[in-house]
Every structure is written in C-alpha cells, then in structure tokens.
Structure 1
Amino acid sequence: MTPGDDGFRTAFAGETEALGRITILVLGRTGVGKSTLVNAVFGESLAETGIGRPVTQASHLYAREGHGVAVVDTKGLELGTDAEQLVGELRDLVAHSRTRPPHEQVHVAWFCLQAADLRVQDSERAVLEALRELGVPTVLVMTRVGLHQGRTHPDVVAFAAAVEAMGLPVVDGRAHPVMAQADPFSGFPAHGLPELLEVTRRVAPEGVRAALVAAQRVDADAKAKEAGKAVAAAAAQAAAVAATPIPFADAAVLVPIQLRMMSRIALLHNVPMDRATMLALASVAATTGAGRSLTTGLLKLVPGAGTLTGGVVGASVASGVTMAMGAAWIQVCRRYGRDGLVDGVALASGEVRDLFLRELRSALPGGLGGRRSAPHERLR
C-alpha cells in the first residue's frame, strides 16, 4: 500500500471530522474591536469571507467548511438597548445552539470591553450574568490596551483593577488585556493573544481544544505541542499493532496510522487538503518507488533496518519509524506555513522531498535504539 492521493484524502477527511470545531460567541459594543481580534487570532477575515447564517434575529454564525473555528457574532450591545431584550436574545441563541450537533454549540464566549471606555454598562453586566446562568465560560477581553515601553497607561490599570473588584462572573475574575494588532502610529506592539488563547483552551470542553489550537495563527508552540501529541499517539498505535511482530513485507498495515497522523499534523498547521496531499506525496516519493509501501520504504532508510528483510518488524521499530516520520512531517508543514512551500518550484526541485528525508534521518541519529527528543521539543 502506498500513500496515494485517495488514501491521503480519505485520511484527511476523517481527521478533519475527528478534529471538530470550536464555536466562540463574541460580544461587545460596535467599535470595540471584535473583528480585529478574531481576524488577528485566526489569521483571516472570518466574518467577511465565511458563510454567515442567522442564529437568532440579532446574531449570525460564521463558519467555513474544514475550518476549526466558528464565530457567533452578536448585535445589540449598544447604548440605550434594553438589557432584558439583550438577555432574551442571548438565551434564545444559546438554547438554539444546544439543539445543534456538539461542534455547533456555543463552547466559550469572548466578551470585549475597550480599554478607553473606562466603564462597564448595566446591560453588559446583565449579559455576563446571563452567560453565567447558561453555563457558558466567558473570558473578559480588554481590547486596545497599548503598551509604552512595556507599561500600561495608569487609567487603564485603574480601570482593570475596578473591573476585578466588581466580581463579574468571568474566567479568572478579571479582564485579559490584548492589543490585537500593532499600531504603527503610536508604536504600540501587539500583545496578549497567546495568553488569551491559553485561557480559552483551558476553559473550553476537552473535545474542542485541539480544534482551537489548529484554527489559531498566533501560537506556534501550542501547535508544536499538539502535533507532538499526535505523533506520540500514532507511535503508540504502531507499537500496539506490532506488539506481535509482523512480517517485514506486511509492514504496510501501519500506513493508515501514519496517514492519519500526517493528516492531523497538516490540519494543525493550517495546510489545506489539496496542498497537504501534494506535500505528502512529494515527501515520501523517495521511499515509495519500485512498488514499496510507505512503511517498508521508510524502514530501508533506518540504520540497520535493512537486515530485517524477510524477517519481522517489532514494536520498537514500528514506533520508532512512525515517530521519526511524524517529526519530519511536522517540519514540512511548518516550512509550508513559514516559507510558503508550494506545488510549483518546490515540488519540481525536490525541496520538499529533501527536507523530509533530511529531517527523517536526523530524527534517528543513532538508529532506533538512540534517544530521540519528542517532536514538540525538537521543533520549538
């Protein structure tokens, strides 16, 4: 069995479904910076380019097929709006979401306050209380918090302290300051987004945390750690399959495990299916020639593994090859995001293949018996 186009696409589709989607309810007055925040975290104008559909009269859900996040954008938190009406709309929204599949339910709320406003309205407090009663974890985000030489304006510091003293029903009991985008005019740097993501990940249901890590574009370390988990899980599965040693010629039974691992890593690094398929085929081209399977081809690259021909593959060999393959594939996906490896020059020149093989060999510097760092340790 070779990792052909159909095999990889099938694995990719399966992992896309398994990864799921996190749905975030974003609230705040017009002009508070909700769209800027969402776009900065997830790397695109989701509300502008996503497909929006009404959830209630006052809100829309924006999502895109294959994207790990959906945003429910709410309207109506304006001066003079009746608090009772707002709370009623919010209850309808959450109740409606709970009639949907798990990935379409509201998992977390980001409630945005602008630092310059220096106040919390009664209607905003009412909405926060309603979210608490509805059981939606709510992260209070203080937007547009500028830092000058690492320091925050004293008025904003005082406002943050006053907000904390209010005892609002929000995660950690305080506002989390962010500057979603650097301001070239004031010189204020962007900050706070990785911290916001970590808080969100912590309070989100366990089943959607990986989807959040995959969708976000601001914390490479979080992606590396999650990818490392995928590699470790695949290596353990491979070891389990080979716990009773399998014939070398039958090592292709490990391929589905490895394709699922590669697909999940690609999803975590925001590599689209078509591009991931091309990168995967280019990566393993050198190991699948002459009709060899992915696994048996890779085994021939492992020091000493060639002596297994006609013999058997045990748990340590299966696990080691899978782990090395995962570490190498992570590097390819990271390079795609950083340098834009594309299907033209890079594939034609063999750059992807050479990168994959180089990283594969470096992941096994002393053969299968040597000590290898975990993928998230090597790739920081």
Structure 2
Amino acid sequence: MELNISDIASQCITEINKKIKNLKNLNIIVAGKTGVGKSTLINYIFREQLAQTGIGRPVTQHIQMITKKDVPLTIYDTKGLELGRDTQKEIKGEIIDKIKEGLYSKDENKCIHCIWYCINTASDRIEEDEIEWIKEFTEDNKDIQVPLIIVLTKSFSKKKAKEFKDYIDSLNLPVCAIVPVLALDYEIDEEYIAKAYGGEELIEIMGELLGEELIPTLQNVQRAAVKQKVKYARGVVATTVTASFAEGFTPVPFADAALLVPTQVAMIASITVAFGLKVDKGIIASFITSILGTTGATLAGRSIVAGLFKLIPGAGTIIGGAISGGTAALITTALGEAYIRLMERMCLGEIKASDISSKEAMTEMKEIFKEELKDRK
C-alpha cells in the first residue's frame, strides 16, 4: 500500500474544514460602561480583531451583535450602562430576554454561554449602581444560571488590581470569578513597559465554566492563551492514542502502514482547529515531508516504517513484519507533539507560514520529531 503525501495533505484540509464546520457557536455578552475598554478586551482575547473588523448590528435598543464569517463566535456588546438607573434596568431586561430566547430555542448555537461584566481598574472603584445591577441581574438569572465573570480592565498595576479584586471579593457578589486583565502592553516610562496579561486566566476559567462541547470552539476562537491551546491539543493526542492503539489493537503489516493515516489525519485536523490558524495544503505537506525525511511524492508503506524505525532510539531490528500498538502509539504521539510545537511557534509568531517549506524549518521539524520519539521511548 502506497502513501501519497499530496493526498494526505488534502485529506487533512478536508478534515479540518469538516471539523470547523461542526464547531458549536460560542455566544458571550460583554457588558460595562462606555470607556472601560470592552473592544480592546475583545480584540485581545479573540482572533481576527473581532471588535474592529467584525460585522456589528443592533439586535435590541442597547445591544449590538458582533460576528465575523468563519469565526464560530458571537459577541453581544451592551451600550448605555452609564446613562442612569432606568437605562440600566432596560439593558438588564434585554439581556435576560436574550438569554431566555436562546434557552427556549433549544439550540446550543443560539444560547448565551457566559457574561463578562467589565470594570475599569484604573477608576479604583466599583459604583454602587454597578453593585446593585450585578445583584439584580444574578437574581433574575438564578433559574438559568448563565455564568457571570467580572473582568477588571486596564489593570496597569498588578498590585492595585489585586487590591481592587480583593475589595470586590469582600462584597460577596454572586459572580463566578473576578479576573484582572491588561489587554495591551502599556508604557509606564521609557524604561518599563507593563506587558499584557490576564488572558490565560480568563480562558482557563472559561474552560471550567463552559460545557464540554464548547471547549473546541473556545480554543479555536481565543488567541490570548496559547498554553491553553497546547494543553488542549495534548489532550487530543492522548485521546487519539488511547482510543486507537490501546489493548486490542491488531498489529498492522509494514506494507499496510498507510492504514494508520486516517487516525493521524483526524488528530492533526483537531490540533489545527484548536490553534485557529489558517493552514493550507502546502504547510501540511511540508510537515509530513520533514518528518519522513523524503522529497518523494509517493512512498511504500514498508519504506515509511523503515525510515521511522531508524529514528526510534534502541528500536533495533524490526521483528515479525508488523507494527504493534505500542509502536503505533509512540509514532503517533511524537507526530502529534511535533505538530503541536509547530502550531505553537506559529501562534507565537516565531515562525511564519511562508517559512515552513524552507530547508532550515523542515530540518528543525524533523529534529523536534526525533526528540519527541526519544523522550517517549
């Protein structure tokens, strides 16, 4: 059985597109007074500069819906919370109506999954009307229990942000979490720049609050917590290996090594979707080519196995003419980890998509794969 690299890359792209299409839509309400930095927060947490480039349209008098094609995320942005008590009550009612509308639809893609209430840390205070609004909202929301997170925006000083967080904590408000965030690097003076932070914590908390079926979507749309993407992707690798190569796996003849490919294609597709990057056929083909260490378009199954076994420390002579479950698991895990490393570096801007087919990048990817094999042997 032969393996065609171009065909495998095409299979990966097809599987990636299928998985993206099947993602649930994540719906978040972002509330807070004008000027607290909601748009900056949205653009910091989510990919595609959603608040800047997304399409916004009013759905009620005080709520605007922001969406973008091919991003499974809807942001509902509130307007006018600073305009007085009557307007605040109207907004609260509109939010509750929107929550009920999603619930009654019985469609997960229309349900509101979380609410962020934003307060400017730099103001160093939470207004009495905000305290009352949160209390009244959570009372009205108690039957549905959509989680509410207070996000402390513009948290330039971590010390002051902690003090402010501790103060709000002392009020015992019925919220799920209070998270200080600095959405943009902030220049204190020429010698010191406060780096953006808080995204990792916010996404980690979101992951704990959301249902299991929404976690793939959360990882796909968020960009502020690369470590969370890596953690999730490693879970994909572990699940793939456990489900496919555990006890009961029938050894695969060397000549039929390509039979393992569909499992590995699905794994790579899931990892790609989690990182939310635009990956084309060329990137996948370059990755596969670098791992196999060949420039040939088509390889025989036996050649693939022979090449991979040379990379496994202490593998020795291949006995029995078949790939065991343990060996398949080892190769698949190393493949997944190497691909995660590539996606992570692309996310962090350490490597560009245009550079992946370069000799240097391909050599580096193969070395990473060899390291992963060695570490797991």
> Which of 309, 312, 320 lines up with 1:302 in the alignment?
309
Q: Deviations over 1:257-280 (max 9, x none)?
A: 111111222222232132xx3211
Task: State the partner residue of 2:94.
Answer: 89
Structure 1 counterpart of 2:308, one-letter code:
L
- Separation of aligned partners in 2, 1:223 and 1:104: 25
> Which of 6, 11, 21 lines up with 1:7 in the alignment?
11
Task: State the partner residue of 1:126.
Answer: 136
Q: Deviations over 1:100-136 (max 9, x none)?
A: 7313421111111223143141345433433344310
Task: State the partner residue of 1:20.
Answer: 24
Q: Deviations over 1:121-164 (max 9, x none)?
A: 134543343334431000111222331xx5217xx83x545533
Q: Does the C-alpha gap of structure 1 residues 79 and 12 become closer, same or farther in structure 2, counting only changes over 3 Å?
A: same
- Separation of aligned partners in 2, 1:232 and 1:23: 29
Task: State the partner residue of 1:151.
Answer: 159
Q: Please state if 1:311 is matched with 2:305.
A: no
Contact 1:20-1:103 at 8 Å conserved across structures:
yes
Which stretches of structure 1, 4 residues or longer, exceed 6 Å deviation after superposition? 293-296
Task: State the partner residue of 2:341.
Answer: 331
TM-score, length basis structure 1:
0.82
Q: What secondary structure is seen at the aligned counterpart in 2 of 1:72? A: strand
Task: State the partner residue of 2:227.
Answer: 221
Q: Please state if 1:360 is matched with 2:360.
A: no
- Separation of aligned partners in 2, 1:221 and 1:196: 12
Q: Does the C-alpha gap of structure 1 residues 298 and 53 become closer, same or farther in structure 2, counting only changes over 3 Å?
A: farther
* Higher mean displacement: 82-91 or 63-72: 63-72
Structure 2 counterpart of 1:355, one-letter code:
E
Structure 1 counterpart of 2:363, one-letter code:
D
* Higher mean displacement: 32-41 or 159-168: 159-168
TM-score, length basis structure 2:
0.83
Structure 1 counterpart of 2:372, one-letter code:
A
- Separation of aligned partners in 2, 1:9 and 1:356: 20
Q: What secondary structure is seen at the aligned counterpart in 1 of 2:65? A: strand
> Which of 236, 239, 243 lines up with 2:242 in the alignment?
236
Contact 1:283-1:352 at 8 Å conserved across structures:
no
Deviation at 1:346, TM superposition (A): 4.1
Q: Please state if 1:58 is matched with 2:67.
A: no
**Following superposition of structure 1 onto structure 2, how do residues 142-221 of structure 1 map, counting pairs within 5 Å?**
142-147=152-157, 151-152=159-160, 157=163, 160-172=165-177, 175-185=178-188, 188-221=194-227
- Separation of aligned partners in 1, 2:300 and 2:239: 21
- Separation of aligned partners in 2, 1:198 and 1:140: 14
| Identical columns (%) | 29
Q: Does the C-alpha gap of structure 1 residues 300 and 14 become closer, same or farther in structure 2, counting only changes over 3 Å?
A: same
Q: Please state if 1:45 is matched with 2:49.
A: yes
Deviation at 1:89, TM superposition (A): 0.8
Structure 2 counterpart of 1:163, one-letter code:
I
Contact 1:255-1:295 at 8 Å conserved across structures:
no
Deviation at 1:240, TM superposition (A): 4.6
Q: Deviations over 1:9-61 (max 9, x none)?
A: 11112332455343221111111111111111224420221233544443233
**How many residue pairs are counted as aligned between the two chains?**
358
Q: What secondary structure is seen at the aligned counterpart in 1 of 2:186? A: coil
Structure 2 counterpart of 1:171, one-letter code:
C
Deviation at 1:307, TM superposition (A): 5.2
Deviation at 1:350, TM superposition (A): 2.7
- Separation of aligned partners in 1, 2:308 and 2:28: 45
Contact 1:282-1:350 at 8 Å conserved across structures:
no
Deviation at 1:243, TM superposition (A): 0.9
* Higher mean displacement: 290-299 or 81-90: 290-299
Return 5+ residue gaps in structure 2 as ranges.
none
